[in-house]
Amino acid sequence: MTERPVYIGGAGIVSPLGFGLAATEKMLRENHSAIRPMGLFSLLQGTPLPVGQVDNLEESSGLPRTHLLARAAAREAMTGCGHPPDAIIIGTTTGGIFTTEQLLRSEESSKELYCNHGLNSVVTSLARELDCTGPALTVSTACSSGAVALCLALRMLRRGEVRSVLAGGVDSLCRLTYFGFHSLQLVDGGGCRPLDRHRRGMAVAEGAGLLFLTTVKPEKQLGLLLGAGLSCDAYHPAAPHPDGQGAFKSMQDGLADAGLSPADISYINLHGTGTPDNDLAESLALHKLFTNLPPLSSIKGASGHSLAAAGGIEAVVSTIILSRGLMPANTGLREVDPELELVPLAEPLESPVRAVLSNSFGFGGNNGSLVIGTDDIFSSSAHCRPGPGLTIHGYSCLTGAGATVDSVTRMLGGRSAAGRAGLDTISENLPPRLIRRLKRLPRMTLSLAAAALENSQFSPDSLKPDSVFMGTGWGALSETYDFLTRLADTQEQFPSPTDFVGSVHNGPASQVAIMFEATGPNITTSGGDYSFEQALLAAELMVDESAEPALIIGADEGHEIFSPLLDPSVESGDTIADGGAAFCAGRKSRNSGCSISIPCYISSSGDDAVAALINSLGGINSLHNSCALVLAGIPAAGSGAGEKQLQRFMAQAELSVPVIHYRRLTGEFASASAVAAALAVSFFEGGVIPGDITGQSKITLKSREDKILVLGFGHYLTAMEFYRL
């Protein structure tokens, strides 16, 4: 089967270059830089560094700055569209952190004020405004987030389950990123000069860039998203591979996915941040891939580096390049670094463009390359579209009761495993030299990954995971809290570079990639209480038939101060709980005990949402014949609505099987569904669902048709199916 083209039906952009496509094009034609000294917030020490700041942003709604940037871009991208998008995928790293920083400095303790802190609150806000009732996913892979979001959208559209997706990236300026990058000595005090011989670093910026993608040919199209490639350096938490290996792989895979050769590319939009190491690594990758380089440049000398938004913004700029035949200059460049052996555009160039290669590379070696082109270059090539479902080769979990055996034993007996395991317990299976600088969440993640691989039927020498997918609702709370606390305590003089690098949501998954040399896609999702489900959905979209198994992880840490403040399901005085689970999973059935799939991820606000959930599971008859148990996830903050949704599901499905409210066993934390998934796998491993956990007679899992459902209720309705092969 050949793929239908994925059209760009709309684009929206907000950046330091201006609001909208027309303003952006004008600035690019004039080759002006919008970088200037930061004025968004006052400093306690020193002179403001140059940044890319958005002016005249309407802030009357009370939403955080990131959310407002996303809304402005979405409104332009959706102009003329007669219906809501079927799905929304947003890449972001900042979420509501700028507002949170202000609240913390004012010593505000009311958790209602922090309700928009989470990264997922950006896409949730957009979904409400646009009336999108389908999947609303949040990707956080540092500076490649926007590109990764667009890659997932492309895969989702190719699978045929949706016809339109709004996707891209957004980030706002905040103290965390402003002082964080400065602490790493990655900021050029004279502005940003990508590829310049005397470049000294980047200029932190903000903005939003979104594309409305559809498989239905629009009346007016801006181009096509032809292909996308993702890779991971698996080299260092904050530095690129010195030979550009990851960058080369993402570009190579992006071209292959598009069905194009390097000679088909008319222009390359460089990642080009202006940091010496990044520019050099990208140049080495380019020379390895291209025999003859086409015109190329980086726009970050004009716009600054908008972090998670960069991939989205530069994808929108790519549509301007295609439709206007305008290749932007490498703004800020005075003298090309001869070591790079590149000839970037010194002035804007007007010439027909058929295909653009756009690069975005981020912390943790997370790389994304997009290929955007015209209709006449679309190859109509056949892509392998794996069906839903992955086979599980090994698993692990962690709760307050300890590692897998202790946690599962406790829960099988119907007893609570809520709490927090000690750091020594978490780190038992990890080399001390590896973790001496790591705090709670990365240690948990590495421990889970190592245990899942050890639990698999593969020998350690023969198995090398290809990719890593991680869901985390809140990310590394310890590093974020410690960075902001030290920043305030030292009057902004001595921010911690180690805590800054560790604070990015994708840091733990990148540590896993480094430990196990996993150079395939490395995707972190942050969907609040549905973070693990989003990671599983990303894995279903990205894991190919021929790939080695992937690691799929869900984990969150409990924090004495941040958890009661940020997590709506955790109240002050509650027992703080955390944990997670990991799965070694792939497309091959050998050495596998059961399979997992995610047939449903929809908003609960949609008409007949419960009926849609039932239909996604095969309907009433299928559920009667196969469902042996329901593990129900209802976050405490949504218990009223969630209980009604569960009751409606059981009544409409006419099910009378046992229901286990798994959060009563795991405690309240965002990635509790990952532990529930591990519990489901353990039932198939043992062949029995004990009566102690159901309060009824034991259930023997005999038939291949027997299924266990892990259902999520609340703002979204989700379903994970587990079944024996």
Distance CA 186, CA 44 (A): 20
Q: How far apart (Å, rounded) are the C-alpha atoms in residues 283 and 540?
A: 33
- Burial class from Cβ neighbours inside 10 Å (0-12, 13-18, 19+) for residue 29 reads middle
Give 198: exposed, middle or buried? Use CB within 10 Å, 0-12, 13-18, 19+.
Answer: exposed
Count the neighbouring beta carbons within 10 Å of the beta carbon of residue 596. Answer: 25
Report the C-alpha gap between 722 and 725 in whole angstroms. Answer: 10
Biggest distance spanned by C-alpha atoms of the chain: 77
Specify the DSSP class assigned to residue 134. S
Whether 168 and 146 have beta carbons less than 8 Å apart is answered as yes
Q: Is 198 a catalytic residue?
A: no
Contact status, residue 476 vs residue 441, Cβ threshold 8 Å: yes
- Provide CB contacts within 8 A for 436, sequence distance 6+: none
The Cα–Cα gap between 561 and 422 comes to 18
C-beta of residue 714 within 8 angstroms of C-beta of residue 680: no
The residues, ordered by sequence, that sit 6+ positions from 365 with a Cβ below 8 Å of its Cβ are 232, 233, 234, 235, 236, 240, 241, 246, 510, 513, 514, 522
Instruction: Quote the tokens at residue 481.
Output: 């809290």
Is the distance from CB of 205 to CB of 51 less than 8 angstroms?
Answer: yes
Catalytic residue among 67, 241, 305, 559: 305
* 604 close to 713: Cβ distance less than 8 angstroms: yes
Three-class HEC string of 122-156: HHHHHHHHHCCCCCEEEECCHHHHHHHHHHHHHHH
Given 117, 241, 271, 505, the catalytic residue: 271
Distance between CA atoms of 244 and 241, rounded to whole angstroms? 5
Q: Tell me the sheet residues that pair with 398.
A: 580
Give Rg (Cα) of the chain.
24
Q: Where are the alpha helices (DSSP H) in 203-309?
A: 245-258, 276-289, 300-303
Q: Nearest Cα to 262, choosing from 251, 247, 246, 278?
A: 251
Q: What Cα–Cα distance (Å) separates residue 256 from each residue in 213, 214, 229, 696?
A: 20, 21, 8, 54
- Examine the residue annotation and report whether 559 is marked as an active-site residue of this protein: no
Neighbours of 78 (CB within 10 A): 22
Cβ atoms within 10 Å of 377's Cβ, excluding its own? 18
**Residue 538 three-state SS:** helix
Dist. CA 147–CA 4, nearest whole Å: 21
13 CB-side CA count, 13 A: 24
- CB 296: neighbour CB atoms within 10 A? 24
Map residue 138 onto helix, strand or coil. Answer: strand
Distance CA 344, CA 347 (A): 9
Residue 715 a catalytic site member: no
Residue in 132, 143, 232, 584 annotated catalytic: 143
Token couple for 147: 């590109």
Residue 542 near residue 525 (C-beta atoms within 8 A): no
Q: How is residue 305 annotated by DSSP?
A: B
CA nearest neighbour of 149 among 599, 643, 542, 690: 542
Q: Beta-carbon neighbour count of residue 640 at 10 Å?
A: 9
| Active-site annotation, residues | 143, 271, 305
